[in-house]
Structure 1
């Protein structure tokens, strides 16, 4: 048997259907049209949980992409309800952009403008526009991109600043989460700006979208990939001093295939060559972060904390796609074998066959467990996209 024989399209179709079914039954709030703020591993809903722009836009992206890839009335209706919820609840009509979080009743709780969340909004609006030929969603994506170019781009040093107050004035604490450094520029936000602008250019294809995507592609290679080669750089000062030598293996492998997607969307031969070289370098290094069971370990700190060997759900989803992408680029069986190992790990360690969806941590990481099955930082984005990507690629789509 070849490594790819363990990667069967029908299995990924079943995986995608299972994710969609769980979210339709448990993840979405029929009263508001949005996603519930938090759902425990036993599928119990925490009705009073805060709802974040990241979860809601990721859910919108998923059901919009699903409605386009595997059309069904359920997916279409869910995407439409989520679009209304996001635009009516999170969009700041006065200052532009999306606020960070709301209470369960829709009242704003944190009105800061985190650029990471704006990137996911562009990504989601583009998916909605593509699924429904929706001019309003398209215009929202374009308007938000223009706002970010005006407000968030650092005109002097380049790159996107991390966070702002509601009116886009500066803030001292720019952190995306409590575990992050308070850094003005981060790999994570720039990666999702790359992803957002890839979708925007695929949708719009005009001079503005090309300029945006070209600039972020070149910047990402220069600042986040090339300095270390095998691992992306994570945190920078405003003047591009590297603030952290940690290694994030999920981000490494996610970057590898998103760079290829961006270069392919640009259709630029030279950038395709650059993306291929970077992707294979990153994927090669990520092979060393696979453990004996086939799971991708989380990260390595440069200080005394050292290796964090937990297996979180999202690096597994990105590793599945990233290693298969490397196989498509290189023809090397070892990358397909790595993807097959990761897929086996996902099926045995993360997918909750009894109650649905994926677990935050691998079963083998017990007694540790994740904070919830769905919530502020966990939606149907990484795993749902991985299933769609594998289906698309096994149907014959190129890397």
Structure 2
């Protein structure tokens, strides 16, 4: 069977922060648990949250960062009665030449930061939108209709239609957890890329304020306790840290995040290759198997698979992909970290001149939860 990449948007440049640039929401809320859950939902919906606890912090960040809020989410109504709020709102109105709408968070209850998640009771093959958090977003979209994205899941996709025909059955994560030590390494790498000067603000803006301080990071153990949306939100923080070159930031992060996995993959490959010289086809099989096993170990369940196609290409699928988990409304394939990891894998295997890899389907667009990559042999090699 042939799976074509001709109709994908991978080769069409797109801005992964296009929506976030346009829709910046200032969230002022002393209830940190609620504000962090809201920040996570807003992040997964493609918007940009600026999270503070007081009007003083809001004014201070505005003067430092000069952001342009589309909406103010206000946790405590009494903030509006403060003199400083009046000065801040007047300053915004003067500079923006318009009044910024205010949405009170009175009676808003957010039980978690999920948006598009795996609910096995609803579907064993695709992700589903959280009803309560989806309703919250609809209230925001009544004020900002241009920020709306579809809650529907595409039915005619490679992951759901084409891959089952070659034996790759779609399924969602059962545990919804990944390894603590891996997320610890992700945090460490992200802080290096983001920089200490931006770390506290950005990690809070994406709903991960509990990880501002290193002593609160998960331990370096093999315990499976990290919700996958944490990785997606952390990925967005990395992109936000350099809005002029977000994709480059993701590549820098990937180089640090999965260096250990890739080194293991390369070592396994070289050890298996040592006894004999093997062809390019078997080189790829060996690398993909090693990569798949390491990725599945990180998740604690089989959520990655690959298959060789009749035309000599290879397809690799991430089910309930943790770098796209819960994210919705992207304008193009957005798994920069996996793209960078595969590029590095080919380089470490010394076969980068023989193969090309691209993401042909992304859950950030289809909302299935699954992302598909295609490896094609380079005919010029």
Q: Same fold (TM over 0.5)?
A: no
Q: Structure 2 length as normaliser, TM-score?
A: 0.30
Q: Choose between structure 1 and 2 for higher RCO, CA contacts under 8 A separated by at least 6 residues.
A: 2
Q: Comparing both structures, which one devotes a greater share of its residues to strand?
A: 2
Pair member with larger Rg = 2
Q: Structure 1 length as normaliser, TM-score?
A: 0.29
Q: Comparing both structures, which one devotes a greater share of its residues to helix?
A: 1
